[in-house]
Structure 1
Amino acid sequence: MAPIITTGIEGPVISRQELRTFLKDKELTNLYILAMDRMMRIPQEDVKSWFQIGAIHGRPFIPYDNVGQKGSFGGYCCHSSTLFPPWHRPFLALLEQFLGEHAKKIACEFVNESDKERYIKAAERFRLPYWDWALEAPLPDIVASQAKVECEMPNGQKQVIDNPLYGYKFEPAFKYYGDTFKDLDIWEKWNRTLRYPTNQEATADSAPASMEAVLKNNQFTLRDRCYNLLTRVTTWTRFSHDADAQIDVGTDGVDSIESIHNQMHVLGGKDGHMGVVEYAAFDPVFWLHHGNVDRIFALWQALNPDEYVNAVPSQLATFTRPKGDKEDANTPLAPFRKTNDTFWTSAEVRDTRTFNYTYPELADLYKLSSKDCAAKVRFAVNKLYGKTAPVSATRPSVFDKLPSHSEVGGHVTPGKWHKAAEDHSHYHEWFANIEVQKYSLKKSFMIHVFLGDVPVDSSKWAVSANLVGTHCVFASHIDSTSCEKCQTANAANLIVHGNIPLTHALGNHFGKVTSLESKDVLPVLKEKLKWVVETNDGKVVPNADVPGLKVTTGSSVVQGPTHAEHFPTWNKAVHHHH
């Protein structure tokens, strides 16, 4: 069999759509579900199967399409790496390519000519949807909770099938295929992907209500983290990944796309497949999530066109790269082939149009200068995630509770809180920096940050009204993983970073404090800011028993944007170590 070449869907450049918009297109949705269902039925040994594509991300650590030494200790992992964003770009393009092939074949199978015409047109506009969790974290029912779905079949009949958006069924079960380490046998017991599994037995089911409640309770944290990432971070090192040995990434409250990405993996799966690195890509929601990660990456590129992958020595080894090998824009992104003998590089996948797709915010901007393009993207980001953006979660925005001001380009700021009443465009932003050893608990774990009392019952932590947000560390099961990169990182006590914005939560205490200035906020933080730790399977761990855990607070005076196409300007952060 000829090697698999990653091309994406060949044809014109078409925008991927946000999931909720995508689902409004009935033909496109029906075709997407049928294409997924067909791909998931391909035998697991087939290189074009759902299983083989998911396995690229981790277990069972078998070389994809004969890329890498069979039976070697490694994997293709690019987490906590400068290559994290670009490596996942051809990964998505490969799945999109296979689904697109199925969609076109299925469309041509419709026996009714008018139906066939409709579906052929739908196949031509097919691209993977993305889940914009920063805009609206809870998932639509068809993804979150609907185990069965009715489809229009090519023979013209309606048929109810297992919903491929709800989960992937292993056929016959998950297999290790000679993986160096065996894991808990639960992964073999579960014959389909689960989110928030109800137990550790073969009878386990997903618990969508639990997942949705947790996602909803983190809505403001997600939106603020995304907004701050796009508006504040201007260097590749800070943006691209959650760990860097050369600088202390977490000192100024600046986040990374990987850290936010980690939060969604664990919040979206807990101790199910999505919450564990090696198994995450088998869950269909993985691809909706990573579509949005890639989109945020693309938006950031438009905002920072001169910044990209910087050359650093690889701290860790993979299937195809030894430890110490240089990682830069020309590093092969294995196992994704450009030709029979070459692999795509970060330099070559810098533009999404390489794989014939774009995103709605960028679709009409490519003919503009980089300066004008950035201005339009700033407008879109402000509209989607800025302080005056619509709030879809149940908890009100902090700025709904504060004195309303709209003098500054329509940007509502808590102006009356600032002592410099003559300059309402300035206000304070508060945040908590978090750093910790990535493999300190030997699996994925959560750090819940509260402003107020912590529930005695740990099962209530993630849905508490006092929760500010949950920082998540997305990690392999270190005692059983065959990932060489992960094992090396564990031995090196790799530190990862994240950031939880506090300003929205402080707004819930309006009336108890008179401003967002240090003299008024610090007493509240000293009394009410607390954090607790649990593993993704619910084991509570005392803070003192978590190696490398540090939580520090900081604040910055921010000048609101003077125009809808401008971003706020953050002054140098002040840290409140006491």
Structure 2
Amino acid sequence: MGYQYYPITGIKDGWGPDGKVPVRRDFDEWSVSTDPKDKNQVILYLLALKRLQAVDPANRDSYFQIAGIHGYPYNPWDEPAVTQKEIGRKGYCQRLYEIMVNEVIPSYPAKYRDEYLEAARTWRLPFWDWAKNPKIPTLVRYKSVEITFGGQPKVKIANPLYQFRMPNDKKMRVYGVGSVVNFDGGEPFDYGECIATSRCPTEKEREAGSDTWANGVAHDDEADKLLAKHSSVTDLSYGSAAELVYRLLTYPMDYPHFATLARDENAKSATASTTKVTNDINVEFIHNNIHYWVGGNGGHMSQIPVATFCPTFWLHHCNIDRLFALWQTLNPDKWFETDIQRFFDQKIVGSGSVITNKTPLRPFHKDTGGTYWTPDDARDWFKLGYTYPELPTGKETPAQLLRMVNDNYGISRQEALKLAKSATAPVPGVEVLDDDGARVYDYALSIKYSKFALGGRPFNIEVFLRPEGETEKTFRTEDFVTNVFNFSQTPENEDGVEVCSNCAEGQAQNVQATAYIPLTSYLIKMIQQQELDSLEPPTVEKVLARMYWRIVDIGGKPVPEEQWKDTMGLDLSVSKTQMSYSSKPDVPTQFPDPEYIPNLGTSLADDQTPAGVVGNSINVAKINKLTEAVSAGGSIVFTSPSMNLAKPNRETGTGIALLSWDPASQADALDTENYDILLSMVLKNQRRVIQCNHKLAQKSYNLITELTPSPWFGERPELRVDIKEDQYEIYVDGRKVSSYKRDIKKSVTHVHYYTTPSRAEPIMARVITGNTYQDTAKVS
């Protein structure tokens, strides 16, 4: 008999007539319900999860192995033909229901079995709505729980939701879990020494070799503080995630922008958002922050390779699935069809450079014969045998869902309506509308950064606001505004062995990430505390000019700016618009496209771009699209904040290539072979020469021409190219070096910044600036 694959079918029991399926329940509501059926389901869930966690970790169907699909121990799951080489290159997600009906229920007296089987048939994995209830759920917080079941005396059991503990107290290292690199240079976080998982451990508790680290801790009060750090100024007990969810579900956006924080200017989309600001909103950013808020510094949930071992992972991801289902229902015509390969390197699981809605979702199979699931297969959650409280039939209208979204998540809306209604005299910037609604100036912060700026190590971007009159950066808790958690991992483990080629590829491509944080609730809080008297732009802009920020590592320690400024590509910008909120919750919010406010964010200190010049951030190992194409008569000036002037023992090259892309092309936009290379300039630091070349797409290069700048570049280098009708004029640090023939007379649309070999470090910063001029005469 051949290998039998594990079929992912969803629970087929419990279905009603006309395709009616059981509901995934809100964990906070369901776990405290007094309904007898609910109570039976909760106990069955605990008992089944406890048994699953006790299965031998070497077993494919164990909790350990299923959790390991996401990262450590980097073993194949349900793919017997996968080679050992492939194992180290990927991290991969009914068992509970099977345990309920086949193991738990048969162990109790027969007179209870029908009642318990009925409860099991309609049980579905619950979700934790961390936006509506920003606290670790009550049932999760108990290390042990007492249950009464099957007519037996009350018994105390270890709570499988509190933490996952290895069977027989064996260390995770025994089954292949290792360490995760510690950014600050200290000892790596040795998760292999752990017997059980942790949430929000302290620095002392993270010390290698300690019993506390091995046996795990759960500081849920600390997680609560992180989850509710931006609590509403009204009496609503919501945290900051509520407003993020509100905007995620109400702002117009296409599927790629909803789904991922990775941004690719080359991606083609016929339904892209009409404004760059709304493109900054995505479910992945919200998802990442929950991982950090629950896990804290060093807790399992905040580290990709081990996050799935924490039982809260499953409650969190069921809510992500729910948000996805809500968005699908609100946007029924938007779906994933065809896209280029993203930072998750789908090539390593057989997907190639182009992925579609029919690409296999390895390693998940639909049947015992090994048929893979595809995105199209998973689009309809009803076919998997479950739905959500807001979507009982799947035929709910957008207006019905909008009422729920407004009532549950529209924090800024509710605050604005309350402010407009309660004010004896309207606050400037707040206007009362005819239907008792409110028109309010709305502000948001967009943060863009390089996901692998610190070698793939997780980090936090923290934003603060100086009190009026102060000039020092004190980083006081009371001045904290918001944070963005970069949820990533290093491509290699502490022994230098590659364990995540997805991450290695992402690092090589210098994947950029973006996050969007509403600021209006923070500003309304300042009004409530009489620290602000207006929401009008002139007043607010003066306040937000006091913002400052820092990078903090996963251990909670600030990273010196000199360690990240050249690689982070950090861009903070503030946008504004006017939101018109109706007092009727089924009426959509109206707002014009947001616009960026000049001279706020990083531009306040760093934007020195002259008038008539377009600035472009040029990232290493990436084809960078220019904001404006440059033709004959124009110039491009590349500058870097640093330059490695040491001559290396072994020659490497740092290349800057001017490219031209045919907009009608259907070729792979990630492959430089499909571009006309108008001028390639490779800086050779050992020999102090610039090698120039050019070629047409899919053709061979011409002969190399070497230029010898004298003197060589300085510590803050500038490379300028003037585009003439028949030649390029090349300048180094303001001095003309030479001219190079312009055989391919096309406009420059992209810049490829790269190194040879590809893993070498560039001699300039990893992120440089490319300023474009349409008129060479304007170059100063």
TM-score by length of 2: 0.64
What does the per-residue CA deviation read over 1:234-291, in whole Å, with 9 as the maximum and x for residues that have no partner?
A: 3101101110213699940431111100000011102111001111111100000001
Give me the whole-angstrom Cα distance separating, in 1, the residues matched to 2:173 and 2:54.
16
Q: Kindly indicate whether residue 445 of structure 2 is the aligned counterpart of residue 437 of structure 1.
A: no
Residue of 24, 43, 47 corresponding to 1:16: 24
Partner residue in 2 for 1:392: none
Q: For 2:262, what is the secondary structure of its paired residue?
A: coil
Give me the whole-angstrom Cα distance separating, in 1, the residues matched to 2:99 and 2:55.
11
Q: State the Cα distance separating 1:21 from its structure 2 match.
A: 1.5
Give me the whole-angstrom Cα distance separating, in 2, the residues matched to 1:55 and 1:491.
25
Q: Kindly indicate whether residue 58 of structure 2 is the aligned counterpart of residue 60 of structure 1.
A: no
Partner residue in 2 for 1:71: 84
The structure-2 alpha-carbon separation of the partners of 1:196 and 1:185, relative to structure 1 and needing over 3 Å to count, comes to closer
Give me the whole-angstrom Cα distance separating, in 2, the residues matched to 1:375 and 1:76.
42
Equivalences for 1:164-563 in 2 at 5 Å? Answer: 164-171=160-167, 172-175=170-173, 184=188, 186-198=190-202, 199-200=205-206, 201=208, 202-204=210-212, 205-218=217-230, 219-246=238-265, 251-253=276-278, 254-270=280-296, 271-315=298-342, 316-318=344-346, 320-321=348-349, 324-339=352-367, 340-364=369-393, 366=394, 368=395, 373-387=397-411, 398-399=415-416, 402-404=419-421, 416-418=427-429, 425-441=438-454, 442-452=456-466, 464-480=477-493, 482-510=499-527, 511-527=530-546, 529-543=547-561, 545-546=563-564, 547-561=568-582, 563=584
What does the per-residue CA deviation read over 1:400-443, in whole Å, with 9 as the maximum and x for residues that have no partner?
A: 872327xxxxxx9x975337667764222111101111122232
Give me the whole-angstrom Cα distance separating, in 2, the residues matched to 1:552 and 1:326.
32
What does the per-residue CA deviation read over 1:63-113, in whole Å, with 9 as the maximum and x for residues that have no partner?
A: 1012662322455558xxxxxxxxxxxx3xxxxx11111122345335344
Residue of 42, 45, 53 corresponding to 1:29: 42
Partner residue in 1 for 2:648: none
Q: For 1:345, what is the secondary structure of its paired residue?
A: coil
Q: For 1:15, what is the secondary structure of its paired residue?
A: coil
Give me the whole-angstrom Cα distance separating, in 1, the residues matched to 2:582 and 2:588.
5
The structure-2 alpha-carbon separation of the partners of 1:178 and 1:34, relative to structure 1 and needing over 3 Å to count, comes to closer
Partner residue in 1 for 2:52: 39
Structure with the greater alpha carbon radius of gyration: 2
Partner residue in 1 for 2:106: 109
Give me the whole-angstrom Cα distance separating, in 2, the residues matched to 1:427 and 1:68.
59
Contact 1:314/1:325 (<8 A) preserved: yes
Q: State the Cα distance separating 1:351 from its structure 2 match.
A: 0.8
Deviates most, 33-42 or 425-434: 425-434
Deviates most, 171-180 or 97-106: 171-180
Q: Pairwise CA RMSD of aligned residues? A: 2.9
The structure-2 alpha-carbon separation of the partners of 1:255 and 1:173, relative to structure 1 and needing over 3 Å to count, comes to same
TM-score by length of 1: 0.85
Give me the whole-angstrom Cα distance separating, in 2, the residues matched to 1:577 and 1:226.
27
Give me the whole-angstrom Cα distance separating, in 2, the residues matched to 1:452 and 1:247.
38
Give me the whole-angstrom Cα distance separating, in 2, the residues matched to 1:49 and 1:577.
55
The structure-2 alpha-carbon separation of the partners of 1:155 and 1:478, relative to structure 1 and needing over 3 Å to count, comes to farther
Q: State the Cα distance separating 1:41 from its structure 2 match.
A: 0.5
The aligned amino acid for 1:35 is: A
Q: State the Cα distance separating 1:157 from its structure 2 match.
A: 3.0
The structure-2 alpha-carbon separation of the partners of 1:559 and 1:63, relative to structure 1 and needing over 3 Å to count, comes to same
Partner residue in 2 for 1:84: none
The aligned amino acid for 1:483 is: C
Q: State the Cα distance separating 1:523 from its structure 2 match.
A: 0.7
Give me the whole-angstrom Cα distance separating, in 2, the residues matched to 1:524 and 1:240.
33
Partner residue in 1 for 2:593: 572
The aligned amino acid for 2:172 is: F
Give me the whole-angstrom Cα distance separating, in 2, the residues matched to 1:452 and 1:532.
13
Q: State the Cα distance separating 1:544 from its structure 2 match.
A: 5.6
Q: For 1:217, what is the secondary structure of its paired residue?
A: coil
The aligned amino acid for 1:358 is: T
What does the per-residue CA deviation read over 1:116-153, in whole Å, with 9 as the maximum and x for residues that have no partner?
A: 3432222122111101011011012321x311122335
Structure 1: any 5+ residue segments left out of the alignment? 79-90, 92-96, 390-396, 406-411
Contact 1:418/1:517 (<8 A) preserved: yes
The structure-2 alpha-carbon separation of the partners of 1:155 and 1:41, relative to structure 1 and needing over 3 Å to count, comes to farther
Between the two proteins, the alignment pairs up a number of residues equal to: 536
Higher strand share: 2
